[in-house]
Structure 1
Amino acid sequence: MKIEQIYTGCLAQGAYYITSAGEAAIIDPLRETQPYINRLKEDGVELKYIFETHFHADFVSGHLDLSNKTGASIVYGPTANPEFEAIIAEDHQIFEIGNVKIKVIHTPGHTLESSCYLLIDENGDEKALFSGDTLFLGDVGRPDLAQKGANMTQEELAGLLYDSLYHKILPLDDDITVYPAHGAGSACGKNMQKETVDTLGNQKKTNYALNQKDRQSFIKEVTDGLLPPPAYFGMNVMMNKKGYNSFDEVLSQGLHALAPEQFEEIAEASGALILDVRDNHEFAKGFIPQSVNIGLDGDFAPWAGALIADVNQPILLVTEKGTEEEAVTRLSRVGFDHILGFLEGGFKAWEMSGKETDFVNRISAEQFEIEIKEKEEKIIDIRRESEYNAEHIHEAYSMPLAYINEWINKVRTEEHFYMHCGSGYRSTMAASILQARGYRNFTEIEGGFKAISLTSIPKSDFVCQTKILNTLD
């Protein structure tokens, strides 16, 4: 028997590959299927089942393409109602993979169909729990995402989650290994640990949600401090439930190379968003007017989902040479299937064609220190609230990037302001969005708070972010 965790840092997502005696199962696969197919061939095993823990909101699963290419059956837990052929398992139903067994444990709460999968080894011992979004390390799945579809309040869903965890998961043996669907950085929870594997026994000791005195206490703690979910979540759920275009088709279309003239014509005719995925330093120096920057070298896919939101939005890409396929792949993971092509030759080709360009008004932290001493002007900190609360510039306003579509209309065009994030990655995204919507009354700080912290600009006292998060919980 072999269990392999295939972890994707950009999405903070764990897929699982299990083999035994010539057969295999994959749990919660990513959109692109070729890496899994390559593994199956190398190991000389046949994929028997594709297990889905629930209808995912934060990424589009590869279950359909993988099933079509291998003939493996897709399995969901009780109450799931996908619009494609799948096995809808009963609670405690057993599936055999080689010499091992997978037992379905229906654990509603995060969603109504949410299920965990308990692995039983060749000797009949319960060895591993693939907990999906029901149980994370340090946290549990948020109970507010399925409210509309379930016609229930988040408190009612949290009550279901309590029953699932306390009556079905906590009674399991302490030495069982827990393999969650997500880790720190995912928007599916609020207090996840950085580790991606743990024992159930340790989670019983350290996970706040598993240490509540009663059901009401659990409901209060789990629902307290939940931030609004990213706007693309609902669309991803529908794609996972209803179906989607083949990833091969999406990739083929997205890798259509366009000369600057073609690129410009298609942008004007289609209303496509020009998405520039270059490093923020390069983007700030020059870019195509109206384009939006989300750097491929960071949490690219989640930010694309959060800021673009509409997965049906047509997109044209500006990339560094050789990164086109990576950009298309990572966008498809969160449901952006309408990628019309990329600019052949990148931004240099656009420049050389003599077409109009733009730039970000960006200064160093040292220059910012000089300017801010000479005049009193508004400072906007677009980091997460927990980062801001940990330490920030005195008098700075907290306006997180995740909510830019809410606060952008409150920006007064006649009032200049300075803007920064943690390192420059997020503030360049914000700068590109502001300029695309006609705002030019700001200066962005290169290097963000990391660079600012080395200056003498007055800052609040540092407070550990972990303590802040624990206080929120």
Structure 2
Amino acid sequence: MSLTTTYNDMKVEQIYTGCIAHAAYYIENNGVAAVFDPLREVHPYIDRAQIDNAEIKYVFETHFHADFVSGHLDLRKKAGAEIVFGPGAKPAYEATIAKDGQIFEVGNYKVKVIHTPGHTMESTTYLLIDENGKEHGIITGDTLFIGDVGRPDLAQHVVADLTEEKLAGYLYDSLRNKIMPLSDDLIVYPNHGAGSACGKMMSKETTDTLGHQKKTNYALQNMSKEEFIKTLLTGLTAPPGYFPQNVLMNIKGYESLDTIMDRATQALTPDAFELVANETGALMLDTRDAEDFAKGFIPNSINIALDGNFAQWVGEMIPDVKQEILLITYPGKEEEAITRLSRVGYDYAVGYLKNGFDSWRKSGKDFETIKRITSEELEKQMKSGNPLIIDVRKKSEFDSEHIIGAINVPLNQINQHLAQFPKDKPFVLHCAGGYRSMIAASILKQRGWKDFVDVIGGFDDIKEHTSIKRSEYICPTTLL
């Protein structure tokens, strides 16, 4: 999704990617363009500049990102753009390390560097100034979101001395001394929106005025540094495991997406697919929808559907970004799957099943299924017995409302709590809508569980179509 805002004679195009809740930015003036925090695939930015007959002069990075691999290196290679980081950044490749207050010219526009450490130490906000000298807005990266601020616990996974308390203190100072003194009419352009794991309560809105944020954002209210640190750290869940690996890729560099695509777009017959799987130990990742996966899938394959928060759940459930991956997709969706894997650093897809799962089925090879039931069928089971129900939603979702007697094992903790899934009696799986529970079901199948069912439509369908009793209180059997 692309959103262009014009204010004070300056155009800023926000290029928003909903599946990872990411916003990149494009500005252009007088034949010169700049891109801020680009995604891994850079052709949309190059194509955009070509429409304007413009040269991409700069690619500005607000910080070393954790939740995605940036496209800055490919933009430098393909467009000749100069990479710019804020003060203190130490990339392992050629880049300009800006000074606090330094001005860069993009045509007649100006971009002013404002060093705002806290989320990370090199975190930088870029102040946009139009051709008339009027300050227009701030591209804040993960320093300031709409309704939230960046989490201060990521850098310690790379540098141990940078504790979350220290970083929260730096963030407090950056917000009070660098951001809040700026004009209320500035537009805030953050790097993420709701759904990102880089904050804990981001708004669905993707821009706002700084003045409104000063009134409504909890982190910008009047409080001491100690109160701020306590507030910021309260309720902060552990970051996804792939975050530190993405940070290191952004610091050290990575292969071009072209190289990754060449390696991954190998169409394999069922026999060749099976041979590669056996020889390499590659993980078989099925990206079809839950409904189709349940009807038939290759034994030992894992389901993470492309039509959802695909990249985020790949990052949560596959510990090593260097894991070799074999893809099963709907025909024509192979390149999309490879691209979305690469956005979060999973660069080692080694091929895909030609013509998708239908070719496997037609070849006569073995396949498995997963039994699913409707919410109404679950209600009948509960009236006639006491089935074990395992809810794989997040703890916060479970605590808000859940089926009385259900056990909570959040999906991202499933590998640490496999013992909670019995093999000697049946059980029922559900999440909110069926996406996450099918991921869980595929993992359990791979690990040898057989006697369970998945609820079609999940908790949302249970609420809408049944009278199953639900509780708004934490169930005593909650595990996490």
- Superposition TM-score tier, normalisation by shorter sequence: over 0.9
How do 1:236-385 and structure 2 match up within 5 A? Answer: 236-385=246-395
Equivalent residue for 2:101, pick from 92, 104, 115: 92
In the TM superposition, residue 389 of structure 1 has moved relative to its aligned partner by 2.4
TM-score by length of 2: 0.95
Question: Which residue of the partner structure matches residue 3 of structure 2?
Answer: none
Q: Quick one: distance in 2 between partners of 1:5 and 1:164?
A: 24
Equivalent position SS for 2:230: helix
Q: Quick one: distance in 1 between partners of 2:340 and 2:275?
A: 25
* Pair 1:132 & 2:141 matched: yes
* Pair 1:404 & 2:387 matched: no
Question: Which residue of the partner structure matches residue 11 of structure 2?
Answer: 2
In the TM superposition, residue 460 of structure 1 has moved relative to its aligned partner by 2.1
In the TM superposition, residue 386 of structure 1 has moved relative to its aligned partner by 2.5
Equivalent residue for 1:458, pick from 462, 465, 469: 469
In the TM superposition, residue 280 of structure 1 has moved relative to its aligned partner by 0.5
Question: Which residue of the partner structure matches residue 170 of structure 2?
Answer: 160
Amino acid at match of 2:117: P
Amino acid at match of 2:47: N
Residues 52 and 75 in structure 1, CA contact (< 8 A), matched pair in contact too: yes
Residues 275 and 291 in structure 1, CA contact (< 8 A), matched pair in contact too: yes
Amino acid at match of 2:385: K
Q: Quick one: distance in 2 between partners of 1:307 and 1:165?
A: 34
Equivalent position SS for 1:10: helix
Question: Which residue of the partner structure matches residue 470 of structure 1?
Answer: none
Amino acid at match of 2:87: P
Amino acid at match of 2:116: T
Equivalent position SS for 1:444: strand
Question: Which residue of the partner structure matches residue 393 of structure 1?
Answer: 403
Question: Which residue of the partner structure matches residue 4 of structure 2?
Answer: none
Amino acid at match of 2:247: V
Question: Which residue of the partner structure matches residue 87 of structure 2?
Answer: 78
Q: Which deviates the most, 371-380 or 418-427? A: 371-380
Question: Which residue of the partner structure matches residue 210 of structure 1?
Answer: 220
In the TM superposition, residue 309 of structure 1 has moved relative to its aligned partner by 2.4
Residues 230 and 309 in structure 1, CA contact (< 8 A), matched pair in contact too: no
Residues 101 and 120 in structure 1, CA contact (< 8 A), matched pair in contact too: yes
Q: Quick one: distance in 2 between partners of 1:160 and 1:317?
A: 43
> CA deviation digits over 1:298-348, x for unaligned, max 9?
011111111112110000000111111111110110001100111001111
In the TM superposition, residue 372 of structure 1 has moved relative to its aligned partner by 1.9
Equivalent position SS for 1:452: helix
Q: Quick one: distance in 1 between partners of 2:256 and 2:133?
A: 39
In the TM superposition, residue 148 of structure 1 has moved relative to its aligned partner by 3.8
How do 1:408-447 and structure 2 match up within 5 A? Answer: 408-447=418-457
Q: Which runs of 5+ in 1 are unaligned?
A: 464-473
Q: Which deviates the most, 231-240 or 391-400? A: 391-400
How do 1:80-229 and structure 2 match up within 5 A? Answer: 80-150=89-159, 151-229=161-239
Equivalent position SS for 2:136: strand
In the TM superposition, residue 451 of structure 1 has moved relative to its aligned partner by 1.6
> CA deviation digits over 1:147-196, x for unaligned, max 9?
14341221111000000111100000000000000000000000100000
Amino acid at match of 2:138: L
Residues 212 and 218 in structure 1, CA contact (< 8 A), matched pair in contact too: no
* Pair 1:54 & 2:63 matched: yes
Residues 158 and 244 in structure 2, CA contact (< 8 A), matched pair in contact too: no
Q: Which deviates the most, 235-244 or 393-402? A: 393-402
Amino acid at match of 1:460: S
Q: Quick one: distance in 2 between partners of 1:19 and 1:317?
A: 38
> CA deviation digits over 1:73-100, x for unaligned, max 9?
0000001000000000011111000001
Amino acid at match of 1:394: I
Q: Which deviates the most, 436-445 or 279-288? A: 436-445
Question: Which residue of the partner structure matches residue 469 of structure 1?
Answer: none
Question: Which residue of the partner structure matches residue 477 of structure 2?
Answer: none
Amino acid at match of 1:50: V
Q: Quick one: distance in 2 between partners of 1:28 and 1:171?
A: 24
TM-score by length of 1: 0.96
